[in-house]
Amino acid sequence: DAKTTQPTSMDCAEGRAANLPCNHSTISGNEYVYWYRQIHSQGPQYIIHGLKNNETNEMASLIITEDRKSSTLILPHATLRDTAVYYCIVRVGHTGTASKLTFGTGTRLQVTL
């Protein structure tokens, strides 16, 4: 699975959009970009994933560049409850069973008043 690079930490004011970048310059054509987050003392939570196109769900939007070498997770209106470590993961979608998730150290997002 391709490696990812994320900033160690970021701050965001409550109510503002949080834009979390991720570089995955060695991504292969059959690899998806996944985002998970981990709130303190909880298990990771799935947020969103995409292959080529931009994606949006009730939690966030995922913007993937045309060359697929980087992506940005957008939390449109961050709240204090969005304070967490955000992991960008790239992996192949295997048939039959889901492939393992390879976590890095992620980005620690601190949302402040």
Partner 1 sequence: DAGVTQSPTHLIKTRGQQVTLRCSPKSGHDTVSWYQQALGQGPQFIFQYYEEEERQRGNFPDRFSGHQFPNYSSELNVNALLLGDSALYLCASSVGVAGGPHEQYFGPGTRLTVT
Check residue 44 for interaction with partner 1 (CB under 8 A).
yes
DSSP H helices in the chain: none
**Are 35 and 90 contacting, i.e. CB atoms less than 8 angstroms apart?**
no
Radius of gyration of the chain (CA): 14
The token pair that represents 99 in the structure block = 């492939």
Nearest approach in angstroms of CB 44 to partner 1 is 5
End-to-end CA distance of the chain: 38
Contact window for partner 1 (CB under 8 A) among 9-17, 21-29, 68-76, 100-108? 100-108
The residue whose two tokens read 């909880």 is 42
**Cβ atoms within 10 Å, residue 69:** 14
Q: Which is nearer to partner 1, 42 or 113 (CB)?
A: 42
Site for partner 1 in 48-67 (CB under 8 A): 49
Contact window for partner 1 (CB under 8 A) among 11-19, 65-73, 74-82, 96-104? 96-104
Check residue 15 for interaction with partner 1 (CB under 8 A).
no
Q: Which residues of this protein are in contact with partner 1, per CB under 8 A? A: 32, 34, 42-46, 49, 85, 87, 91, 93, 95-106
